[in-house]
Amino acid sequence: MHAASSGGNLFLWAESSDASALNAIAKDLGIARIGKRAVRKVTIWLPSTKDGPVASLPAADAGPPPESAIHLAACSVNALELTPGESVRLLAACAGKRVLRTGLLVGDDLSYWAGALRFAAQLVLTGQFLPGLVQEGDGFQARWQPVISGSDVARVHAFAAAMPGACRALDTDGSKAPPEDPAESVLHQFLSVTVDWLVRDPNMRPFEMPESLHDEWMNALTSSHGGMKGKPRELTALSGQIQQWQRPIQISAQAPFRVSFRLEEPEEDTDAWMVRYLLQSSRDPSLIVPAAEAWNLKPQAAAALGKNPAFIRERLLASLGEAAGIYPPIEASLRERAPEGCVLDASRAHEFLRDTAGVLEQSGFGVMLPSWWTRKGSRTRLTARAQVKSPKMQSGGGLSMETLVSFNWKLALGDETLSASELAALAKLKSSLVKVRGQWVEVDAAEIRAALDS
């Protein structure tokens, strides 16, 4: 079985099957409303030889044809156009499988769309979608639109690059050449249609009497069809208002880079910490430009980020303004003419590590932290150890647990025990982030006091 996409909808087809066989397959899988729509002939461009399309699995007694004999050719096949709901049911049934029934194999293109369904579901589960209103033909449709930002941008680029050619081989306009729709465009269309369907609650009934055009829009967003009725001029105005409301998020999602924050530790014990502002390419995350260079960007660097210097500076300021709402110390730096970062003391740096970094990442920003903090399972920190002492037995007197065993609490950094003088120096710092024997560590004031008291 195979599936090609057009306009976000999937067309199901199978090798060596007539219309009745394809209908039977769809009915057996429970994915199609048989009788509502007929299987029809469509044109798909497939690898072929002079004898016709090349089979996905060549016969056991015949190897694959030589590459020199293969070319793309327009082939007529029986196909069934699926609704978004039918596509979801089909792809869910195919996920992670190669064989669905005896003699019924899942093609690479169908497996690809099953992966795309998982990606769409992740967007919905994490709330990465916005309500919108789009014009389709002579009418308007309320639509839930996916928002792809942050690290998901690179994932989409990689996912589109891996798209099998058969996924976008459907010829819908009768041209004499293979379709040239970019893989990213085809993928985005599928994600838009699928996210809209997944967000909708098919059991929610529309209000009988919407009080306003806005109420009708909200009603359409929860209906099964999304269609809206109203005066075209009013719907056009509402669509413009919605686009304006979406604009800050859409600009951020569509930008070829994102703002990232790198926490830099002091070079000397007395120096301050620094959160450095960076521009990180969405397509190539390894391409990083410091904000210090962005304010006076060279043409070559601007071209690498995919936009002109004016747009880059505007987007940088807008992103820093959004981040300031999450982390107030950023706001003070925006009073500078060309902000490069914000200066922190050890207490603020600890707050950034423990609390702020995760919130910034969830909001679509990039975050880079020191390696000693991010190493899983091996972060260096102070630990409390109890040394057990058993006093010598003496005659007379009562015995108790306290007299039988005494504890001497000490603090250790890795395998090294800290001296009393080092503990006293740490206690005076009154900070949760300190430098001990050349290493930055997270400390607990209560542990230090307990060790000193023992």
Phi then psi for residue 68, to 5 deg, are -65, -20
Give the pLDDT of residue 206. Answer: 41
Q: Per-residue pLDDT averaged across 237-258, rounded?
A: 78
Is there a domain that residue 24 lies in?
yes
Give the pLDDT of residue 337. Answer: 87
Mean model confidence pLDDT for the chain: 78
Domain end among 230, 253, 276:
253
pTM above 0.75, yes or no: no
**137 and 247 belong to one structural domain:** yes
Give the separation between CA 340 and CA 336, rounded to whole angstroms.
9
**201 and 119 belong to one structural domain:** no
**Sign of the C-alpha dihedral computed for residues 312, 314, 318 and 320 taken in this order:** positive
**237 and 263 belong to one structural domain:** no
> Is residue 261 a contact partner of residue 359, using CB atoms and an 8 Å limit?
no
Give the pLDDT of residue 195. Answer: 93
Name the 3-class secondary structure at 396. coil
Strands 366-368 and 257-264: parallel
| pLDDT greater at residue 444 or residue 310 | 310
Give the pLDDT of residue 205. Answer: 43
Give the separation between CA 438 and CA 448, rounded to whole angstroms.
19
Q: How far is CA 127 from CA 33, 153, 214, 220, in A?
A: 31, 16, 21, 19
| pLDDT greater at residue 65 or residue 401 | 65
Amino acid occupying residue 58: P
Give the pLDDT of residue 207. Answer: 39
Q: How far is CA 146 from CA 125, 127, 249, in A?
A: 11, 9, 11
Give the pLDDT of residue 60. Answer: 52
Partners of 52 in the β-ladder: 49
Give the separation between CA 241 and CA 243, rounded to whole angstroms.
5
| pLDDT greater at residue 395 or residue 192 | 192
Domain end among 316, 339, 374:
374
**96 and 27 belong to one structural domain:** yes
Give the pLDDT of residue 233. Answer: 86
Give the pLDDT of residue 47. Answer: 87
pLDDT, tens digit (0-9, with 9 covering 90-100), for 83-136: 888 898 889 888 888 888 877 889 999 999 999 999 998 898 888 899 999 888
Domain count, the chain: 4
Q: Per-residue pLDDT averaged across 282-305, rounded?
A: 79
Is there a domain that residue 320 lies in?
yes
Boundaries of domain holding 110? 2-125
Partners of 51 in the β-ladder: none
**115 and 41 belong to one structural domain:** yes
Range with the poorest average pLDDT among 2-6, 158-162, 416-420: 416-420
Residue 144 has pLDDT above 90, yes or no: yes
Structure confidence at residue 408 as a pLDDT band (50, 70, 90)? very low
Give the pLDDT of residue 403. Answer: 44
Is there a domain that residue 202 lies in?
yes
**282 and 295 belong to one structural domain:** yes
- Tokens 């004499």 belong to residue: 176
Burial annotation 238-247 (CB, 10 A radius, 16+ → b, else e): bbeebeeebe
**236 and 266 belong to one structural domain:** no
Is there a domain that residue 172 lies in?
no
Task: For residue 55, give the DSSP letter.
Answer: P
Phi then psi for residue 192, to 5 deg, are -65, -45
> Is residue 131 a contact partner of residue 221, using CB atoms and an 8 Å limit?
yes
316 CB contacts (<8 Å, ≥6 apart)?
259, 277, 279, 291, 294
Query: What share of the chain has pLDDT > 70, as a percent?
Result: 75
Q: Per-residue pLDDT averaged across 441-452, rounded?
A: 59
Tell which residue, 179, 183, 180, 181, has the closest CA to residue 158: 183
**261 and 223 belong to one structural domain:** no
Partners of 78 in the β-ladder: 41
Give the pLDDT of residue 145. Answer: 92
| pLDDT greater at residue 237 or residue 443 | 237
Range with the poorest average pLDDT among 25-34, 156-165, 336-345: 25-34
Q: How far is CA 121 from CA 8, 97, 118, 173, 336, in A?
A: 15, 18, 5, 31, 42
Q: Per-residue pLDDT averaged across 12-35, rounded?
A: 76
Give the separation between CA 25 and CA 27, rounded to whole angstroms.
5
CA angle 295, 296, 301 (to 5 degrees): 100
Residue 4 has pLDDT above 90, yes or no: yes
Amino acid occupying residue 182: P
Is there a domain that residue 434 lies in?
yes
Domain end among 374, 407, 437:
374
Give the separation between CA 261 and CA 360, rounded to whole angstroms.
9
Give the pLDDT of residue 438. Answer: 67
**38 and 92 belong to one structural domain:** yes
Tokens of 165: 């050619």
**21 and 60 belong to one structural domain:** yes
pLDDT, tens digit (0-9, with 9 covering 90-100), for 347-379: 888 889 988 998 898 888 889 998 888 765 444
Give the pLDDT of residue 277. Answer: 94
Partners of 76 in the β-ladder: 43
Give the pLDDT of residue 404. Answer: 41
Q: Per-residue pLDDT averaged across 229-247, rounded?
A: 84
